[in-house]
Amino acid sequence: METILTIFIIFIAGTAATYFLGKLNGVLRSILFLATLAATGWLFFTGITPESGIEFRILGITMGWGITPFSYIFAIIVMGLALLSGIYAVKAMEDEKNLNFFFANFLLTVMSMMGILFSLDLISFFIFWEIMTWSSYFMVVFTGKDVQKVGIKYILFSAIGAYAMLMAIVFIYSFTGSVLIGDFIDNFHLFDTQMQWLIPILLLTGFGVKSALMPLHVWAPGAYSNSPMSYTAMFSGALSKMGIYGMVIVLILIVQQIPNGYWIKEVIAWMGGITAAMATLWAIKQDDAKKMLAYSSIGQLGYIIVGVAIGTPLAMLAGLFMAVMHGIFKSTLFMVVGAVERQTGTSNFTEVTGLIRKMPWTFLAALMSIIALAGIPPLGGFIGKWMLYESLMGSNHYLLIIMIFFSSTAAFLYCFKFLFGFFLGQEEKEWSHVKEAPAMMVIPMLILAGFAFLLGIFPGLILKPINEGMQFLGYVSTTNRFWEMSIIFNDWGNAVVMMPIFYWIIGVFVFFLVFLTIKGYKTTRYVSTKDISTSGEIPKEHENLTFTMGFMQPFLRAVAPVMKRQIDKYYTSIGNGLEALFDFTRRINTGNGQTYALYFVVFIIILLLFKDSLF
Amino acid sequence: MVGTPVFLIAIPLLAAFLIPLIGMIWKESVRIIPGLVLAYMTVLSASLYLFILENGTYVETIAGWQAPWGIDLVFSPLTGLLATIMTFMGFIVWLYSYRFKSNVEFEAAKKYFIFLMLLVAGSVGIVITGDIFNQFVFIEIVGISAYALTAFYTGRNSAEAAFKYLIMGSLSASALLIAIIIVYAQLGTLNMAEIAANIDQMNVHYRIIAMIFFIIGIGVEAEIFPLNGWAPDAYTEAPGPVGGAFSGIVVKAGIYAMVRMMFTLFDISGPMKILIVIGLVTLIVAETSALRQEKLKRMLAYSSIGQMGLVLVAFGMGTKAGVFAALFLMLNHAIIKPLLFLSGSFLTFNTTEKYISQITGMAKKMPVVSVLFALGALAISGLPPFSGFWSKLSVLTAAADENLMLIIALVLIISVIEIVYYFRVINRLFFFEYDESVSVKPHKPGFNGMIALFILAGLILLIGFYPASVTGYLDLAADDLLNTHQYIDKVLQLGQSIIQ
Amino acid sequence: MDTAELIRLGVYGTSILLILIGLYAVLTKKSLIKIIIGLSIIDGGIHLLLIGIGYVKGGTAPIFSPGSEDAVARMVDPVPQALVLTAIVIGFGVTAVALSLIIRLYRHHNTLNIDEIKNLKW
């Protein structure tokens, strides 16, 4: 269909225009950037319907682009988040340098994600995947912080994942002679057993890297916290979902066909559970909001993976619903951190406190998303978690449920830390000059927070497309009445039955806030939070004693044995070992011309010795 | 047509003698005439190539001595393609190096451009000749001009690099001569087609020994593993554009000679273990060495060697898909690696050591050149949507067709290493702050140099977004290489037709 | 074994010996000059080998002259001789380049010991 091509042409033209014309004028650049996003967004939401597609051939390989009801869900997240974080970025980044590169790259990432979702064949899927990888890489190193360490780690893991995928794609192509995803799925049962196991594992490695599954996650904390926050909003919100997207396809359509493929799902589910638990613990430990949210993202992706990998219809619904929700609230939170950092200059909990009066709207957005993240009704996170628990119960994964329960309870700790660290607590003189972030930054956050709220009350809005997508994948085979699977939905499946309760909760919250603001305003006694004495301890002068300092030490001490073993260290030592080995191989070229002559003679002798086996 | 294949060799040789004479009258001519000659060669080989695509392989006999007695030049879809690429790259390198260092005076410029021209002419000669001894002579012409170009700068370590190159080069020439002697003693002919037709009559032991000496003799030029110790030194110490010429032109000729020997001369069909093994070892050793390099050009040199290893692996599969992939890799490498060398030598223009750390933050000072360098780096490490991706993909699919899983895995692991070391450089270039104390002074690139870079970058994008623009030609070339009988028939029949 | 065969074997043996002597020089001698001499000796050995192949006992020079048509049968093979001439010229060129490089190296390093000339490595 023409619209698909139009969208991509607009993207490419917009990228080029933003880059080249953006050098001339900042306003023009922003306008071009937003116009590209708006135009493609408008075209996408009006002109594209599921099941439209085009086919073409490159190198004699048939390829196709189109959109399926399943990828439509993810495309909504991508386009929506791109628009909102794009608006946010224009304001948030205005003082930075090299902005034409930033915005062009931003568009490139959005385009590549849309491309991934539009690809009906593995080659264009891979091409867009790689474009996504390197364009997001340039964003990770954009700030120039820790470039060689964090950046290389990201590109290294991405490359390993991508090449695992490419290997699978190449196998698929040589076996079936076609790269169309549909053909591959239809012919998968013809593969021999070895391949039937190898291909899904390779593909899952590729997707696992992007969705930060436990042993492959080490790039994520650094990468998420190092890129500009306006980009991380999309990076964590939308880009990581590409891994989930691929994983769902592999797990539903391919692993299903393997005899005993059940085990792959089980292993992935467990890895997801471990990811969720460990990442949550690490998140609690962080003092930097960006790092904390990065670990929190990894944890949340763990939940999603658990849901997707358990693979009962309800679990799948839960996983995908949480994927959407995570896209919404985690981008909001990253935007909040970006706003706080922009206004105060730091994102460290131990330095920034008491911003609630200075940045009330930002606080509101943060509060809503934190509630959604923690899974407290009435926001959307609750429904996702509820469905996940229900499905885990239903499929007898009791150990896993304990793990998930543990990590989601522990998640409260960092949620609290986030809210308290930035917004609650006492005001510091140091931050008295801080003002609310500009409207262009606050409004996208509030819109997203509003969505989180809306989906909490009317989950049907997103559950319906998810259901259609699942039906397209042939998963929910019989029923259209997805709400019958969970007990919390009402008869029509549009809303949650506990609605009256939610309204009460909201009422209480609002009242409480109003009460606090009016009542507490006058009686606040100002003491520096960075220099107070707490129970029994006699602090030294200028010792930082903000609330979040050494937060939850007893808990962290209790779990210290678990956290002691860091997989990062193993990777580092493997990396160092390899580098040393490679340093040795380059010493083969000694620099002495005579040695090279010796190699020459030795080479002749070797060839003569092995002539029977080599020729 | 604007000439016959023999002009591709005769004109530059003639010009090489005339330039010093003309240079006495008009000094600028030593820079301009080589450019004109290279431009003429490009036009000539391109038009010949288009001609033979329509009319079939063209065999030219020299001085009326028909094959197999005389020396003949074969302009086939394969050799024509390679000759066109080489002459074109030669022209690009000339365009870039025209006034590359404007302070280089007359004498030095004269030598540089004459040897550059001879280098291209020799490489083209290696490709289009149909006679193994003639090929030997061309290899030596390439060798001598390469030694001279490597040693171009005085007062640096360039003489050392050239000397190492020379030791290896003359040892390999001896090996090649021995191989030629063995073949001649056995078959009594030096014509490739005739050798190919009669190879069955050769004693099998002599055949293998001849093959070994051929591999060693050509291996130095083709930079296979234990024989490539000279290459990083020469690439580093030669002037920047010459590094581009080495990687874009000379290695290609070496690879061609080796492949022609394996596929046609000894008419091996099916997978060639020797090429695969040599290629893999070269690939692994070179790429792992590249990871730890401190000098930019040295890293590029190792990367170039590694890519050539990959090309040999692809050729070694012996299938149509493998040959196609190898030719695709050669084409891409011939475009991308010169781009890297040329832009890299702009970046490191004001340093003689060429340390990677010295280009820290250069993107702030030389944005366009840095972007072009990054484009080349992304393309060579096989990231889509640039041209390198398609060739890597075709190598992998070719290997998958043959069920060579180990090779696929190895190639991909090596690609990861490649990505790491190229991205380290890109990071330094773009995302570090420019630091006066570490980085070199930026250099204002010349206009002609930028045109050369933009042409190469444009080709990378063209092939990347529209691979079908070249795959048809590569397909024909692959067919041509695999079809030994057709080659023999063409060369020998034409000889007979002249007798009658 | 007739004399032709013996001569042939002698020529082959001598040339192989020469090649080995040259290789020995290239591999063990530390002086750049000696290495180049070694390369020249290898070249010489190969040229001898090449000539030896075309050898015919009691053969005549491969030149057509009127009235000696029977000589055609006894003519030594002309091709190796042509090859050797070319190879000698090339070898001469390479040696010349090598010697000039050695002068440059000596000026730069003040030594001719190959072990000390390794600024470029790894």
Greatest CA span in chain C, whole angstroms?
A: 66
Q: Give me the pLDDT at residue A491, please.
A: 56
Q: Which of A590, A591, A601 sits opposite C27 (nearest CB)?
A: A601
Measured between CA atoms, how close is C11 to chain A, in angstroms?
A: 23
Measured between CA atoms, how close is B43 to chain A, in angstroms?
A: 28
CA distance B47 to B49: 5
CA distance A378 to A508: 12
Q: Give me the pLDDT at residue B494, please.
A: 55
CA distance B1 to B45: 9
The answer to whether the beta carbons of residues A417 and A298 sit under 8 Å apart is no
> Cβ of C26 and A594 within 8 Å?
yes
Q: Give me the pLDDT at residue C82, please.
A: 84
The answer to whether the beta carbons of residues A340 and A359 sit under 8 Å apart is yes
CA distance C63 to C72: 9
Kindly state whether residue C72 falls inside one of the protein's structural domains. Answer: yes
B170 vs C contacts (CB less than 8 Å)? 39, 42-43, 91, 94, 98
B151 touching C (Cβ < 8 Å):
yes
CA distance A184 to A497: 42
Which of A586, A589, A594 is best to mutate for the C interface (most C CBs within 10 A)?
A594
Q: Give me the pLDDT at residue B497, please.
A: 46
Question: Is residue A265 very low, low, confident or very high in pLDDT (cuts 50, 70, 90)?
Answer: confident
Please name every residue paired with B75 in a beta bridge, in sequence order, or none if there are none.
Answer: B58
Q: Which of B160, B178, B293 sits opposite C119 (nearest CB)?
A: B160
pLDDT digits (tens, 9 = 90+) for A568-588: 888 888 888 988 888 888 888
Q: Which of A58, A148, A579 sits opposite B467 (nearest CB)?
A: A58
Selected residue with higher pLDDT from C7 and C91: C91
* Cβ contacts of A539 within 8 Å, gap of 6 or more: A531, A532, A533, A545
Q: Is the pLDDT of residue A79 over 80?
A: yes
Give residue C111's domain range: 3-116
Q: Which of B185, B237, B293 sits opposite C120 (nearest CB)?
A: B237
> Cβ of A607 and B212 within 8 Å?
yes
Q: Which of A586, A594, A601 sits opposite C114 (nearest CB)?
A: A594
CA distance B127 to B8: 11
Please say whether the dihedral angle defined by the alpha carbons of residues A8, A10, A13 and A16, taken in this order, is positive or negative: negative
> Cβ of A591 and C122 within 8 Å?
yes
A601 vs C contacts (CB less than 8 Å)? 23, 27
pLDDT tens, N- to C-terminus, chain B (500 residues)? 567 888 888 888 898 888 888 888 887 888 888 889 999 999 999 999 998 888 888 888 776 666 566 788 888 889 999 999 999 999 999 999 887 766 667 778 888 888 988 999 999 999 998 888 889 999 999 999 999 999 888 877 888 889 999 999 999 999 999 999 888 888 888 888 888 888 888 888 888 888 899 999 998 888 888 888 889 889 988 888 898 999 989 999 999 999 888 888 887 777 788 889 999 999 999 999 998 888 898 999 999 999 999 999 999 988 899 999 999 999 999 999 999 999 998 888 888 788 888 888 888 888 899 999 999 999 998 888 888 899 998 999 899 888 888 889 999 999 999 999 999 899 888 888 888 888 888 888 888 889 999 999 999 999 988 888 888 899 999 988 888 888 888 887 754 444 43
Q: Give me the pLDDT at residue A482, please.
A: 57
C30 phi/psi in degrees, rounded to 5? -90, -20
Nearest C-alpha neighbor of B277 from the set A602, A613, A586: A613
> Cβ of B160 and C94 within 8 Å?
no
Q: Which of B133, B233, B292 sits opposite C120 (nearest CB)?
A: B233
Domain definitions of chain B by residue range = 271-465
Lowest mean pLDDT among A324-328, A436-440, B69-73: B69-73
Q: Which of the 8 DSSP states describes residue A344?
A: H
A589 vs C contacts (CB less than 8 Å)? 121-122
From the CB of residue A480, how many other CB atoms can be counted at a distance below 10 Å? 12
CA distance B234 to B164: 8
B295 phi/psi in degrees, rounded to 5? -105, 140
What is the token pair recorded at A506? 């909201």
> Cβ of C42 and B171 within 8 Å?
yes
A positions 149-178 inside 8 Å of B (CB): 151-152, 155-156, 159-160, 163-164, 166-167, 170-171, 173-174
Residue with tokens 């009435």, as numbered in its chain: A378
**Mean per-residue pLDDT, A310-314:** 81
Q: Is the pLDDT of residue C17 over 90?
A: yes
> Cβ of A600 and B430 within 8 Å?
no
The answer to whether the beta carbons of residues C114 and C34 sit under 8 Å apart is no
DSSP A110-171: HHHHHHHHHB-BHHHHHHHHHHHHHHHHHHHTTT-SSIIIIIHHHHHHHHHHHHHHHHHHHH
Here the contacts of B283-287 (C-beta below 8 Å, separation 24 or greater) are B283/B309, B283/B310, B283/B313, B283/B410, B283/B411, B283/B414, B284/B309, B284/B410, B284/B414, B285/A585, B285/A588, B285/B225, B286/B225, B286/B228, B287/B414, B287/B417, B287/B418
Question: Which stretch of DSSP H or E encloses residue B467?
Answer: none
> Cβ of A156 and B383 within 8 Å?
no
Kindly state whether residue C121 falls inside one of the protein's structural domains. Answer: no
**Mean per-residue pLDDT, A193-221:** 88
From the CB of residue A258, how many other CB atoms can be counted at a distance below 10 Å? 19
Selected residue with higher pLDDT from B388 and A613: B388
> Cβ of A586 and C122 within 8 Å?
yes
From the CB of residue A345, how many other CB atoms can be counted at a distance below 10 Å? 11
**Mean per-residue pLDDT, A426-453:** 84
Q: Which chains touch C (3 or more CB pairs under 8 A)?
A: A, B
Nearest C-alpha neighbor of B117 from the set B44, B45, B231, B32: B32
A130 vs B contacts (CB less than 8 Å)? 383-384, 389
Question: Is residue A532 very low, low, confident or very high in pLDDT (cuts 50, 70, 90)?
Answer: low
Q: Give me the pLDDT at residue B2, please.
A: 65
What is the token pair recorded at A96? 């930075």
Between CA B31 and CA B37, with CA B32 as vertex, the angle to 5 degrees is 115
C120 touching A (Cβ < 8 Å):
yes
Kindly state whether residue C50 falls inside one of the protein's structural domains. Answer: yes
Q: Give me the pLDDT at residue B20, please.
A: 85
Nearest residue on chain A to B216, alpha-carbon basis: A604
Q: Give me the pLDDT at residue A254, please.
A: 86
Report how many domains make up chain C.
1
CA distance B481 to B79: 9
A542 phi/psi in degrees, rounded to 5? 60, 25
Exposure of B153 by Cβ count < 10 A (0-12 exposed, 13-18 middle, 19+ buried)? middle
Please say whether the dihedral angle defined by the alpha carbons of residues B289, B291, B296 and B301, taken in this order, is positive or negative: positive
The answer to whether the beta carbons of residues A211 and A305 sit under 8 Å apart is yes
Q: Which of B164, B212, B471 sits opposite A604 (nearest CB)?
A: B212
Question: Is residue C118 very low, low, confident or very high in pLDDT (cuts 50, 70, 90)?
Answer: confident
A204 Cα distance to chain centroid: 16
CA distance B327 to B481: 10
State the Cα torsion B320-A169-A108-A50 to the nearest 10°.
120
CA distance A290 to B391: 40
CA distance A434 to A363: 13
Q: Which chains touch A (3 or more CB pairs under 8 A)?
A: B, C
Kindly state whether residue C41 falls inside one of the protein's structural domains. Answer: yes
Q: Which of the 8 DSSP states describes residue A431?
A: G
B236 touching C (Cβ < 8 Å):
yes
CA distance A299 to B110: 67
Q: Is the pLDDT of residue A17 over 60?
A: yes
> Cβ of C118 and A601 within 8 Å?
no
A594 vs C contacts (CB less than 8 Å)? 26-27, 30, 35, 114-115
Measured distance between the N- and C-terminal CA atoms of chain B, rounded to whole angstroms: 26
A587 vs C contacts (CB less than 8 Å)? 122
Nearest C-alpha neighbor of A421 from the set A524, A352, A520, A360: A352
Question: Is residue C20 very low, low, confident or very high in pLDDT (cuts 50, 70, 90)?
Answer: very high
What is the token pair recorded at B146? 């390469």
Which of C33, C102, C115, C119 is best to mutate for the A interface (most A CBs within 10 A)?
C115
A positions 542-601 inside 8 Å of B (CB): 579, 581-583, 585-586, 588-591, 593-597, 599-600
Exposure of A3 by Cβ count < 10 A (0-12 exposed, 13-18 middle, 19+ buried)? middle
B75 touching C (Cβ < 8 Å):
no
Nearest C-alpha neighbor of B247 from the set B319, B301, B168: B301
CA distance A520 to B89: 77
CA distance B76 to B59: 8
pLDDT digits (tens, 9 = 90+) for A351-367: 887 788 888 888 888 88
Domain CATH code at residue C14? 1.10.287.3510
* Three-class SS of A235-247: HHHHHHHHHHHHH
Q: Is the pLDDT of residue A478 over 50?
A: no
> Cβ of B427 and A127 within 8 Å?
no
Q: How many residue pairs bridge chain A and chain C with CB atoms within 8 Å of each other?
A: 30
Q: Give me the pLDDT at residue A488, please.
A: 61
> Cβ of B229 and A589 within 8 Å?
yes
A positions 86-125 inside 8 Å of B (CB): 123
The answer to whether the beta carbons of residues B422 and B377 sit under 8 Å apart is yes
Residue with tokens 């909201």, as numbered in its chain: A506
A105 vs B contacts (CB less than 8 Å)? none
> Cβ of C119 and B157 within 8 Å?
yes
CA distance B92 to B244: 10
Q: Which of the 8 DSSP states describes residue B261?
A: I
Kindly state whether residue C122 falls inside one of the protein's structural domains. Answer: no
The answer to whether the beta carbons of residues A204 and A247 sit under 8 Å apart is yes
A516 touching B (Cβ < 8 Å):
no
A35 touching B (Cβ < 8 Å):
no
A348 phi/psi in degrees, rounded to 5? -95, 130
Which of C37, C120, C121, C122 is best to mutate for the B interface (most B CBs within 10 A)?
C120
- Measure Cα distances from A222 to A162, A172, A217, A407, B58 in Å: 19, 34, 10, 21, 60
CA distance B411 to B409: 6
